[in-house]
Amino acid sequence: EAQVTQNPRYLITVTGKKLTVTCSQNMNHEYMSWYRQDPGLGLRQIYYSMNVEVTDKGDVPEGYKVSRKEKRNFPLILESPSPNQTSLYFCASTQGIGTYEQYFGPGTRLTVT
Amino acid sequence: SQQGEEDPQALSIQEGENATMNCSYKTSINNLQWYRQNSGRGLVHLILIRSNEREKHSGRLRVTLDTSKKSSSLLITASRAADTASYFCATVPSGNTPLVFGKGTRLSVIA
């Protein structure tokens, strides 16, 4: 089954404790991205990657890091989480940037206290 | 930078009625896509309409695109309680740039 998986689905952590949210897709997609969703603000793109070892900033990259060492995986790293990073995070992948539908993961609800 | 703006922000209708949601955007686009999100879950792609298309159908969904007005509409006919969700338009600006989402319309279909 074609899918995007994310782990963990729920995470409560404390300020400053490094964390990684994993994302994996099994569709051989080249393009992957991370979004955060906040009430009243919709979805905002954090980072995206057009291929292995190619990443670029989205609209709200501050406080986040990503890496793309393999085509299927695109982890999101919060080196020093802060309460304003409490949000619902989605990973997505697509066959090609902009011209194809995006497949979304189930989401990771992060709370930083 | 959010380009799409959905209207209305929230819509409540009775089962069996039609639901219409609108999306306006600011710059020229390659294509426009509509997604659906059930509460707290991942988005699911509904339909994609290219800039040279004016109308597209998929089951009970009808999407129109007016590039001169920079607007699109999503019509769901004969709505069902299961259509209750948030609906987002997403635009692909001209050029090789990522998808940009609007803030969504929350649709409630009352049985």
pLDDT tens for each residue of A27-78: 999 999 999 999 888 899 999 999 999 999 999 999 999 999 999 999 999 9
User: What are the chain B neighbours of A42 within 8 Å (beta carbons)?
Assistant: 2, 88, 101-104
CA A32 to chain centroid: 8
Q: Are strands B61-66 and B10-14 parallel, antiparallel or unpaired?
A: unpaired
**Which amino acid, residue B76?**
I
Chain B residue with CA closest to A106: the answer is: B42
Q: Do A107 and B102 touch (CB under 8 A)?
A: no
* Residue A48, strand partner residues: A33, A56
- Render pLDDT for B50-71 as a digit per residue (tens, 0 to 9): 999 999 999 999 999 999 999 9
Q: State residue B30's pLDDT score.
A: 87
| Residue A90 contacts B, CB cutoff 8 Å | yes
* Residue from the list A33, A101, A104 with its beta carbon closest to the beta carbon of B42: A104
d(Cα B103, Cα A15) in Å, to the nearest integer?
Answer: 28
Cα distance from B7 to chain A (closest Cα, Å)? 13
